Amino acid sequence: MTIETTTSNRVEGVDALRGLAALAVFVCHIGGYWGFLTLPGKTPELLAVGAHGVDVFIVISGFCLALPLAGRPRTLRVPQFYGRRAWRILPPYYAALAVAAIIALLPATWHLTVARQATLGDVLLHVVTGQTWAPGQAGTINGSLWSVALEVQLYLLFPLLVLAWRRWGIVPVLVAAVALDLIWRTSGLLGGPAPLGSDLVVPARLDQFVAGMACAVAIRTGRTWTTRRLVPALLASGVVALVLSTLELGVLTGVAWAAVGSCAVLLLAGPLGQTLARTPLERFGTRSFSFYLMHQPVMLVCAPLVAALPGGTPVQLLLGGAGVLALTITAAEVLYRTVELPSHHAGRRRFPRTTHDEPRPQATDDTNALSDTAAPATNPR
């Protein structure tokens, strides 16, 4: 069954995939932050793989921003785009930052969530989303917030990526992004000053974002593999990514997980996306951003209570994990309803048009289907 061209601004199942990625990160952090658990064998390493849910988030982000643009001649209204993006992610980010900062600043609670008591300077750095560029600062308030800082960097670069996409096509842009990732990560191995080589900043993650954009172009033009080929490709790329992660070959890890995320996104254009869209994961996925923002402080604050549960690791992991998951979902629902959803709607009201249409240029015989010249519009994360 071939994946067909779509003209919709959405692909079913995207939110469900976000939900799965958020749950993967949650499971990873249980294994990483609950040091009182006695996990057998290679279980800690297996749980740690969930951290790569963030890689899938980044692919999805590039995909969602590019999908409304691919195959349609549009011009990006950059101030409008930036305004809507800011309203989309900053209000919930600042709300979650405020909660985490209070815990990290107070003398009675800071030890629950951070390695040292936070300072106002730490908070200010997070307010301007600069924590990923300052060595040792990413975990001073809430370590999970680094990916929001990365998203801000990607949004700032998106108009330039669109210009490159229009001029040279998406494939050369993707190749250049992969090369930049490899060069950046390799430079870090040479012992340069931090954050050189860090995987928390744009040079190391740009290829994942552009891979998502390329998926949008592929789906719009119908130039994708069949479902029968995508499933083995997803499994094969997943195995390669797991091996590279286990061997700690960081130079190639980002590219490998970009491939995994891309295969997963492309699969959503087929029956799998329609199936996932009918599951509870879809609704959970719409709250995945709030869930991600809140999960780490909730998990760490609850850790002493979970550690006190009788019955050892099995009870603490299953019962404690389920309880903390439920509590995090509740906190995420509150944040979603009170901040994220209202700010999302406010952004769409204040910045109703982030693009305007332009006449489609006449096609030539040598036009490459993957060299789509569409300029972008935005779409919710």
Whether the CB-CB separation of 21 and 208 falls below 8 Å is answered with no
Q: What is the pLDDT of residues 281-290, one digit of tens each?
A: 999 999 999 9
Q: What is the pLDDT of residues 282-335, one digit of tens each?
A: 999 999 999 999 999 999 999 999 999 999 999 999 999 999 999 999 999 999
DSSP type of residue 368: -
Q: Is 6's pLDDT higher than 90?
A: no
Q: Is 361's pLDDT higher than 60?
A: no
What is the pLDDT, as a whole number, of residue 272? 87
Q: How far is CA 151 from CA 86, 90, 145, 168, in A?
A: 11, 11, 10, 24
Whether the CB-CB separation of 53 and 25 falls below 8 Å is answered with yes
pLDDT band for 41, please (50, 70, 90 cuts).
Answer: confident
* Least confident segment among 38-42, 143-147, 254-258: 38-42
Stretch 199-221: mean pLDDT, rounded?
94
Pick the closest to residue 47 from 57, 35, 60 (CA basis).
35
Whether the CB-CB separation of 158 and 182 falls below 8 Å is answered with no
Stretch 216-240: mean pLDDT, rounded?
89
Three-class SS of residue 63?
helix
**Residue scoring higher pLDDT (367 or 214):** 214
What mean pLDDT value characterizes the chain? 89
Three-class SS of residue 48?
helix
Alpha carbon dihedral 294, 297, 301, 303, in 10-degree steps, equals: 90
What is the pLDDT, as a whole number, of residue 76? 83
CA atoms in the 13 A half-sphere facing the CB of 230? 22
Three-class SS of residue 330?
helix
What is the pLDDT, as a whole number, of residue 2? 34
Stretch 226-236: mean pLDDT, rounded?
90
Q: Is 381's pLDDT higher than 60?
A: no
